[in-house]
Amino acid sequence: HPYIYKITFATANESSALVIRPFSEKGTLKDLIYKAKPKDPFLKKYCNPKKIQGLELHQIKTYGRQILEVLKFLHEKGFPYGHLHSANVMLDGDTCKLMDLENSLLGLPSFYRSYFSQFRKIN
């Protein structure tokens, strides 16, 4: 799918898994929002609230549509994706691509699991 970020190499055994993706100079959607450089340390990139800047309307429309299209594609294929957040959306030019699709295959809990688990009636 054009909105899924490619994997260069992947391997797994009984106790671990390794996934390698190409490096992107633009970084993730989170990097764009925080005006951060992908190679900077985490605390330098994301712990300065003064640097946070929202997206322009055309970016929100473009990226939102692309994310919804790939989520619809995954849903139609019966593939669960519970790790949607700005750090898992890689920017490639004016296109955004989802990453970490393998998390559900590896049995990792959803990013929002702790939020949903507090509601007893949600199955």
Residue ranges of the chain with per-residue pLDDT less than 50: none
Question: Could you tell me if residue 44 is inside a domain?
Answer: no
Question: Could you tell me if residue 35 is inside a domain?
Answer: no
Question: Could you tell me if residue 36 is inside a domain?
Answer: no
Looking up tokens 């809990």 gives 109
67: left (phi over 0), alpha (psi -120 to 50) or beta: alpha
Please state, as a whole number, how many other Cβ atoms lie within 10 Å of the Cβ of residue 118: 7
Q: Which two tokens stand for residue 60?
A: 């929100």
Name the domain count of the chain: 1
Question: Could you tell me if residue 28 is inside a domain?
Answer: no
| pLDDT tens column, 60-81 | 999 999 999 999 999 999 988 8
Q: Which two tokens stand for residue 103?
A: 């998390």
**Residue 72 belongs to what domain range?**
7-23+53-115
Question: Could you tell me if residue 69 is inside a domain?
Answer: yes
Burial of 5 (0-12, 13-18, 19+ CB in 10 A): buried
